[in-house]
């Protein structure tokens, strides 16, 4: 028998212009799983948190991740999972990815690390597919590997770790509204006009250049999304007005985190991020919506083992 206790962080996907190809890990919040491998086969999952999760293991994102691990490695075993800490599903800060990443990382540790980083991401994407109906790694890769990630390609998976500028602060707010990623993906158009595509890839290039040169002003200018945000902002009360207030207070950008409803802003100073945090809180409270807010400095930490 072998047992591990694993943490995987929350994450912000898309970073504005990088729909399905960019994301970053948040250090403050995340999921914790205890995983035990014994001889035999089968999977049991126990939820020890207050967060409501499906009881059927076929509906839990952890299950396809474990199965993919066994399929890729040819190994076998009975896996018992206890969910000890859980980000609320539908929050937009990578709830399904945190569980999927923790499960992939935990499996790899239980079986003496047969998989590479990219192979663990492939396992974690099985969980994302169950949750959202699509194979995307823009939450799962940062939740596993930490930092800011570009997924240059999916076929084959090509993951690039981007530099984190020294003065890069995010304010993140998670309003108590649930937006299912499946729904938020289903309302997107199937095609993008050439005009929007040109604006979008100009911004992706600008964002990467800004990260490499540590130019947060450029990062902020580039964090514009013409592909998903116009269709998704309807889920967030007075999104445009909130962004105006946040930008007027000195932040460089504000966008939807992943498929929402969480939003995040970026700035090059902690006090500006703290101001954004207050504005977000006031905004949602004035709409009768409670919210959790955090200010985080983006770091390089991803999934990790915890002491048992
Ligand atoms: N890139 C995904 C989306 C992230 O925007 O649908 C889901 O959190």
User: Same domain for 110 and 193?
Assistant: no
Predicted pLDDT at 308: 85
Q: Calculate the alpha carbon distances from 43 to 112, 125, 126, 223 in Å.
A: 19, 19, 16, 41
User: Same domain for 91 and 185?
Assistant: no
Tens-digit pLDDT profile for residues 281-296: 999 999 999 998 989 8
Residue to mutate, 125, 181, 236, ligand 1, most ligand atoms under 8 Å from C-beta: 181
For residue 15, how many C-alpha atoms fall within 13 Å in the half-sphere facing its CB?
32
CA separation for the pair 171, 271 (Å, rounded) = 10
User: Same domain for 150 and 68?
Assistant: yes
Confidence of residue 223 (pLDDT cuts 50, 70, 90): very high
CA–centroid distance, residue 116 to ligand 1 (Å) = 24
- Give the CATH number for residue 278: 3.30.70.890
User: Same domain for 75 and 218?
Assistant: no
The domain containing residue 98 runs over which residues? 2-162+299-305
User: Same domain for 190 and 126?
Assistant: no
DSSP secondary structure of 240-252: HHHHHHHHHTT-S
The answer to whether the predicted template modeling score (pTM) of the entire model surpasses 0.75 is: yes
CA separation for the pair 145, 121 (Å, rounded) = 9
Tens-digit pLDDT profile for residues 152-190: 999 999 999 999 998 889 999 999 998 888 899 999 999
Confidence of residue 65 (pLDDT cuts 50, 70, 90): very high
Does the beta carbon of 128 lie inside 6 Å of ligand 1? no
User: Same domain for 29 and 67?
Assistant: yes
User: Same domain for 94 and 182?
Assistant: no
User: Same domain for 34 and 136?
Assistant: yes
The ligand 1 atom at the shortest distance from the C-alpha of residue 259 is: 5
Span 46-69, average pLDDT: 96
Of 23-27, 30-34, 90-94, 290-294, the range with the highest mean pLDDT is 30-34
Does the beta carbon of 181 lie inside 6 Å of ligand 1? yes
Q: How many residues does the chain have?
A: 308
Does the beta carbon of 173 lie inside 6 Å of ligand 1? no
Confidence of residue 131 (pLDDT cuts 50, 70, 90): very high
- Give the CATH number for residue 85: 3.30.230.10
User: Same domain for 236 and 274?
Assistant: yes
User: Same domain for 157 and 230?
Assistant: no
Q: How many domains does the chain have?
A: 2
CA-closest candidate to residue 149, choices 56, 21, 5: 21
CA–centroid distance, residue 75 to ligand 1 (Å) = 31
CA-closest candidate to residue 43, choices 51, 52, 33: 33
C-beta of residue 128 within 8 angstroms of C-beta of residue 78: no
CA separation for the pair 138, 117 (Å, rounded) = 14
List 128, 229, 274, 299, catalytic entry: 128
Average pLDDT, the chain: 95
Q: Look at residue 299 and tell me whether its pLDDT is greater than 80.
A: no
Residue to mutate, 99, 138, 260, ligand 1, most ligand atoms under 8 Å from C-beta: 138
Predicted pLDDT at 80: 98
Query: DSSP character for 40?
Result: S
Q: Is 181 a catalytic residue?
A: yes
Does the beta carbon of 229 lie inside 6 Å of ligand 1? no
User: Same domain for 94 and 35?
Assistant: yes
Does the beta carbon of 255 lie inside 6 Å of ligand 1? no
Predicted pLDDT at 179: 86
User: CB-based contacts of 67: which residues, under 8 Å, 6+ apart?
Assistant: 43, 126
* Strand, helix or coil for residue 108: helix
Paired strand residues for 42: 78
Predicted pLDDT at 90: 81
CA–centroid distance, residue 14 to ligand 1 (Å) = 7
CA–centroid distance, residue 229 to ligand 1 (Å) = 11
Q: Look at residue 70 and tell me whether its pLDDT is greater than 80.
A: yes
User: Same domain for 173 and 97?
Assistant: no
User: CB-based contacts of 264: which residues, under 8 Å, 6+ apart?
Assistant: 12, 170, 171, 172, 173, 254, 255, 257
- Percent with pLDDT over 70 in the chain: 100
């Amino acid at each position: 028998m072998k047992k591990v206790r694993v943490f995987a962080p929350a994450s912000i996907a898309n970073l504005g212009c990088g729909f399905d190809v960019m994301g970053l890990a948040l250090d403050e919040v995340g999921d914790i799983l205890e995983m035990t491998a014994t001889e035999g086969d089968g999977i049991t999952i126990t939820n020890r948190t207050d967060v409501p999760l499906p009881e059927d293991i076929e509906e839990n994102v952890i299950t396809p991740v474990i199965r993919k691990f066994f399929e890729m490695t040819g190994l076998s075993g009975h896996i018992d999972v206890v969910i000890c800490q859980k980000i609320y599903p539908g929050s937009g800060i990578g709830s399904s990815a945190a569980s999927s990443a923790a499960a992939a990382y935990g499996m790899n540790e239980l079986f003496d690390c047969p998989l590479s980083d990219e192979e663990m991401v492939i396992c974690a994407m099985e969980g994302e597919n169950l949750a959202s109906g699509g194979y995307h790694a823009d939450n799962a890769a940062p939740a596993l590997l930490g930092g800011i990630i570009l997924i240059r390609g999916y076929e084959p998976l090509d993951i690039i770790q981007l530099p984190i500028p020294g003065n890069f602060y995010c304010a993140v707010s998670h309003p108590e509204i649930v937006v299912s990623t499946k729904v938020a993906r289903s309302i997107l158009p199937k095609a993008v006009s050439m005009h929007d595509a040109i604006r979008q890839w100009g911004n992706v290039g600008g964002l990467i250049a800004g990260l490499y040169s540590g130019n947060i002003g450029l990062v902020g200018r580039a964090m514009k999304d013409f592909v998903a945000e116009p269709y998704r902002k309807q889920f967030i009360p007075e999104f445009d007005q909130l962004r105006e207030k946040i930008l007027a207070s000195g932040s460089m950008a504000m966008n939807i985190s992943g498929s929402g409803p969480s939003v995040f802003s970026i700035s090059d100073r902690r006090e500006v991020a703290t101001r954004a945090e207050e504005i977000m809180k006031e905004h949602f409270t004035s709409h009768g919506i409670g919210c959790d807010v955090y200010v985080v400095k983006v770091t390089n930490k991803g999934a990790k083992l915890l002491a048992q």
